[in-house]
Chain A
Amino acid sequence: MGALEETYRDQRKLDIVFALSCLALVASMIWMFAKDHNREFKKVQRKGFDVEVALLEEQAQELERKGRDLVEQAEKRVQEARSQINESDLRELRAELDRLLPETVKKETELAFEKAVRDSWVSIRDDLTGQYENARRESVRQSLKKDIEEWEQRIADKNKHLEQLQREVEALQDKRRQIQGRIDELLAEVTRAESELKRRRAEQDRLLRLAEQRRMTPGAKFRAWPIVDAFNSPYRVRQYAPEGLTIDYNFKQVQRQDRCATCHMFIDRQGFEKAQLTSIAEKVTLQLGEYGVYCNHPRLDLFAGSSSPHPAEKFGCTICHAGQGGAATFNFAFHFPDGGKTDGKTLESYVEKKQRWQDTYHWHASLHPDYLWDMPMIPMRFIESSCVKCHHNIADLVRTSGREEAPKLLRGYRLVRELGCFGCHEISGYKAGRPIGPDLRLEPYPAPDELSPMERAKLYNNSAEPPGQWRKVGPGLRRIAEKTTPQWTARWIRSPRSFRPDTRMPHFFGLTNNHPDQLSDLQKDLPSQVPEEHRDLPDAEIQAITFYLFKSSEVYLDKIRNLHALSQAQWQKYEDVHNQLSALDDARRAQPDLTPREPAPDLPAAMMPQDIVDKLLADPALMSKLTKDQLASCRAYLQELRRMRRAAASLAEKPFPPPELLVEGKPYAGDPRAGRLLFENRGCLACHAHNQIEVYNAEGKLLTDSGYGPDLSHVKSKLGNDRTDAAKWLYYWLTDPTSYHPRTYMPKPQLEPRERMDIVAWLLGEGSGSPPPEWQSVHVDSGNVEKLARLFLDKALTKSLAEKAVRDGLEPEDLARLDSDEAILLKSDKQPKDAPAARLAHAERLRYYAGRKTISRYGCYACHDIPGFENAKPIGTPLNDWGKKDPERLAFENIVAYVERHHGEHYDPFFLDMLREHRREGFLYQKLREPRSYDYEKLRAWDDRLRMPQFRFAHPKKHRGESDEEFARRTQVEEQQAIEAVMTFILGLVAEQIPEKYVYRPSPDRLHEIRGITLLERYNCIGCHITKPGGYLLQLDRELEGQTVRQMLQDYLGRKSDELRHDHPFYEHSAWRSQKPVEGNTILARGLPFYVAQLPEDEPKTVTIDLYEALRFVDDKRELQDFPAGLNQLPGLPADWEQFPPTGGRFTEVLFRLLAQRDNKDLVGERKALLGAVPPVLYREGQKVQPQWLYEFLRQPQEIRPAVARNLRMPRFHLSDDELAALVNYFIAVDRLENPALGLDYLSAPPAVQVAQGRVAAQADYLARLQQMGLAQTTGAGGTVESGVPTDYFEVGWRMLTDTNLCLKCHDIGTLTSGGKPEERGPALAMAAARLRPDYVERWIALPQRFLPYTLMPQYDPFFAHDQAYLQMRHVLAQRHNRGALQGAAVTGLLAAPIWPGALARSADEQVYSYLASQYAFLPLEKVRAVRDALMSWGYLEHPPPSARAAGVLRRP
Chain B
Amino acid sequence: MHSHGPDLTVSVQNGLAWFYALVALANVGFALYQHLVLSRRNQLVLWVLVAGIFAVHSAAYFAHLGWVMPLWLREMSDHGVHRGLLFLGVDPDSAAVVSQGLGLLLVVVLLLGLADAASHYLLPGSGAWLSRALARLWRGLPAHERLVGWGLLVSVLALVLRGTDAISYFLISVAGFFAFLVWRRVLTLPPVAWGLLDAGLLFGGWSMTDRDFREIIIKPDNVPIVGLVFVVGFFTWLALRKGVVNDERMARGLPPAEKEEDEKVLVWPDLVYTELICMVIVTVVLIVWAVALPAPLEQPASSTKTPNPSKAPWYFLGLQEMLVYYDPWIAGVVLPTIIILGLIAIPYIDFNQKGNGYYTFEQRAFAIVMFLFGFVVLWVTLIFLGTFLRGQNWNFFGLYETRNPYKLVPLNNVNLSEYFWLKGLGIVWDRPGEEPSIVRILARESPGIVGIVLYFMLLPPVLARTVLRSFYLRMGFIRYMILSSLILLMAALPIKMILRWAFNLKYIVAIPEYFFNI
- One of B79-87, B129-137, B302-310, B373-381 contacting the partner: B302-310
Q: Which residues of B contact A916 (CB under 8 A)?
A: 4
The residue of chain A having its C-beta at the shortest distance from the C-beta of B287 within the complex is A28
A250: interface (CB < 8 Å): yes
Q: Is A4 in contact with B287, judged by CB distance below 8 angstroms?
A: no
Write out the residue numbers on chain B whose beta carbons fall within 8 Å of the beta carbon of A886.
305
Contacts of B308 in A (CB 8 A): 888
B307 touches A32 (CB 8 A): no
> 20 pairs across A/B with beta carbons < 8 Å?
A7-B266, A9-B269, A9-B270, A18-B277, A24-B284, A25-B283, A35-B291, A247-B299, A247-B300, A249-B301, A250-B302, A250-B304, A254-B300, A327-B297, A368-B296, A369-B3, A373-B299, A374-B302, A374-B305, A916-B4
A324 is an interface residue with CB less than 8 A from chain B: yes
Q: A32-B287, A366-B1, A917-B1 are in contact. Are A9 and B274 (CB under 8 A)?
A: yes
Establish whether residues B280 and A25, one from each chain, have CB atoms under 8 Å apart when the complex forms: yes
- Interface pair B219/A25, CB less than 8 Å apart: no
In Å, the complex CA distance between A1055 and B332 comes to 93
Give A370 to B263 CA distance when docked, in angstroms: 53
Q: B residues within 8 A CB of A888?
A: 305, 308, 405
Say whether B277 contacts A17, CB under 8 Å: yes
Q: Are A7 and B269 closer than 8 Å at their CB atoms?
A: yes
Indicate which residue in A4, A22, A250 contacts B280 across the interface (CB closer than 8 Å): A22
* Contact A11-B269, Cβ < 8 Å, known A21-B281, A327-B297: yes
Interface residue? A29 (CB, 8 A): yes
Q: A8-B270, A369-B3 are in contact. List 11 more A-B contacts (CB 8 A).
A: A8-B265, A18-B273, A18-B277, A28-B283, A250-B303, A250-B304, A370-B221, A372-B299, A374-B302, A374-B305, A888-B308
Pair B1/A326 contact, Cβ less than 8 Å: no
Once the chains bind, are A249 and B303 in contact (CB under 8 Å)?
Answer: yes
A371 on the B face (CB < 8 A) = yes
**Any A CB within 8 A of the CB of B276:** yes
How many angstroms between the C-alpha atoms of A1152 and B273 in the bound complex?
100
Tell whether, in the assembled complex, residue B300 and residue A252 are in contact, meaning their CB atoms are under 8 Å apart: yes
Q: Does B324 contact A (CB under 8 A)?
A: no
The reply on B431 being an interface residue by CB < 8 A is: no
- Set of chain B residues within 8 Å of A24, measured between Cβ atoms: 280-281, 284
State which residues 247-302 of B face A: CB under 8 Å.
263-266, 269-270, 273-274, 276-277, 280-281, 283-284, 287-288, 290-291, 296-302
- Tell me which residues across on chain B come within 8 A of A432, comparing CB atoms: none
Contacts A7-B269, A374-B305; A249 near B300 (Cβ below 8 A): yes
Residues of A within 8 A of B280 (CB): 18, 21-22, 24-25
Chain B nearest CB from A1114 CB (Å) reads 50
Shortest distance between the CB of A36 and any CB in chain B (Å) = 9
Mark contacts of A305-324 with chain B using CB atoms, 8 A cut-off: 1 yes-contact digit, 0 otherwise.
00000000000000000001
The 10 residue pairs across chains A and B that have the minimum distance between CB atoms: A8-B265, A249-B302, A28-B287, A21-B280, A8-B270, A250-B304, A371-B296, A332-B297, A24-B284, A366-B1
Interface status of B215 (Cβ within 8 A of chain A)? yes
Measured CA separation A254–B263 after assembly (Å)? 61
In the complex, chain A residues whose CB is within 8 Å of the CB of B264:
3
Q: Which residues of chain B are within 8 angstroms of A250 by Cβ–Cβ distance?
A: 302-305
Cβ A3 vs Cβ B266 within 8 A? yes
In the docked arrangement, what's the CA distance between A327 and B298, Å?
9
Q: Contact flags (1/0) for A250-294 with B, using CB distance below 8 Å?
A: 111010000000000000000000000000000000000000000
Tally chain B residues at the interface, Cβ within 8 Å: 37
Residue in B288, B298, B299 with the greatest tally of chain A CB atoms within 10 Å: B299
A1150: min CB distance to chain B, Å: 52
Q: Does A445 contact B (CB under 8 A)?
A: no
How many contacting A-B pairs (Cβ < 8 A)?
98
- With A9-B270, A21-B281, A24-B281 in contact, do A371 and B297 touch (Cβ < 8 Å)? yes
Roughly how many angstroms separate A662 CA and B301 CA in the complex, as a whole number?
A: 79
CB distance from A248 to the nearest CB of B (A): 8
A31 within 8 A of B: yes
Complex: A912 Cα to B300 Cα, angstroms: 29
Task: State A722–B287 Cα separation when bound (angstroms).
Answer: 90
Task: Scan residues 822-869 of chain A and give those whose CB is less than 8 A from a CB of chain B.
Answer: none
Find residues 420-456 in chain B having any chain A CB closer than 8 Å to their own CB. Answer: none
A26's nearest neighbour on chain B, judged by CB, is B284
B159 to chain A, nearest CB (A): 28
Q: How far is the CA of A32 from the CA of B291 in the complex (A)?
A: 6
Contact with A along B142-161 (1 / 0, CB 8 A): 00000000000000000000
Q: Is A918 a contact of B1 with CB atoms below 8 Å?
A: yes
Assess the B274–A14 pair: CB atoms within 8 A: yes
Closest Cβ–Cβ distance, residue A760 to chain B (whole Å): 60
B93 to chain A minimum Cβ distance, whole angstroms, is: 24
User: A residues 1-46 with Cβ under 8 Å of B?
Assistant: 3-4, 7-9, 11, 14, 17-18, 21-22, 24-25, 28-29, 31-32, 35
Are B269 and A14 closer than 8 Å at their CB atoms?
yes
- Complex Cα–Cα for A647 and B3 (A): 63
**Residue numbers in A under 8 Å from B303 (CB-CB):** 249-252
Choose among B1, B221, B284 the residue with the greatest number of A CB atoms under 10 Å from its CB. Answer: B1
Give the distance to chain A from B460, nearest Cβ to Cβ, in Å. 46
Residue of chain B at shortest CB distance from A918 = B1
Q: Which residues of B contact A252 (CB under 8 A)?
A: 300, 302-303
Most chain A CB within 10 A, of B215, B270, B297, B405, is at: B297
With a cutoff of 8 Å between Cβ atoms, the chain B residues found around residue A21 in the complex are: 277, 280-281, 284
Give the nearest-CB partner of B303 in chain A. A250
Bound Cα distance A1378, B130 (Å)? 156
B399-411 CB contact bits vs A (8 Å, 1 = yes)?
Answer: 0000001000000
Residue ID in chain B nearest A17 by CB atoms: B277
A196 to chain B minimum Cβ distance, whole angstroms, is: 56
- Given known contacts A247-B300, A250-B303, A7 and B288 CB-to-CB distance under 8 angstroms: no
Q: Name the residue of chain A whose CB is nearest to the CB of B269.
A: A7
In the assembled complex, which residues on chain A have CB atoms less than 8 Å from the CB atom of B288? 28, 31
Q: Mark A876-903, 1 if CB is under 8 A from B, else 0.
A: 0000000000101000000000000000
Interfacial residues of chain B within 1-31, with CB under 8 A of chain A in the complex: 1, 3-4
List of A residues within 8 angstroms of B290 by Cβ = 32
What is the minimal beta-carbon distance from B134 to any residue of chain A, in angstroms?
Answer: 50
Across the two chains, which residue of chain A brings its CB closest to B264? A3
Interface string of A348-377 (1 = CB under 8 A from B): 000000000000000000101111111000
Instruction: Tell me the A432-451 residues at the B interface (CB within 8 Å).
Output: none
A1273 and B73 alpha carbons, distance in the complex (Å): 123
Query: Which chain B positions have C-beta within 8 A of A3?
Result: 264, 266
Which residues on the A side are within 8 Å of B219 (C-beta)? Answer: 370
Closest to B290 in A: A32
Provide the residues of chain A in CB contact with B215, threshold 8 Å.
369
C-alpha gap A332/B297 in the complex (Å): 7
Residues of B within 8 A of A25 (CB): 280, 283-284, 287
Q: How far is the CA of A249 from the CA of B303 in the complex (A)?
A: 7
CB contacts under 8 Å to B, within A1314-1342, are none
B70 to chain A, nearest CB (A): 25
Q: Which of B221, B266, B405 is close to A8, meaning CB atoms less than 8 Å apart?
A: B266
Interface residues of B in 297-331 (CB under 8 A from A): 297-305, 307-308
User: When the two chains form the complex, which single residue of A29, A327, A368 contacts B287, counting CB atoms closer than 8 Å?
Assistant: A29
Given contacts A14-B274, A374-B305, contact A4 B266 (CB under 8 A): yes
Q: Which residues of A contact B296 (CB under 8 A)?
A: 332, 368, 370-371
**Chain A residue with Cβ nearest B403:** A369
**Docked complex Cα distance between A329 and B308 (Å):** 26
Could you say which of A9, A249, A324, A917 contacts B297, with CB atoms under 8 Å apart? A324
Cα-based distance from A250 to B266 in the complex (angstroms): 60
- Nearest to A889 among chain B residues (CB) is B305
Nearest B residue to A364, CB-CB: B5
**Distance between B289 CB and nearest chain A CB, rounded to angstroms:** 10
Please report the C-alpha to C-alpha distance between residue A24 and residue B282 in the assembled complex, in whole angstroms.
Answer: 11
CA distance A1429 to B277 in the complex (A): 105
Q: Smallest distance from the beta carbon of B288 to chain A beta carbons, Å?
A: 5
Which single residue of chain B is at the shortest CB-CB distance from A27?
B284
Q: Given the complex of chains A and B, what is the CA–CA distance between A22 and B284 in angstroms?
A: 9
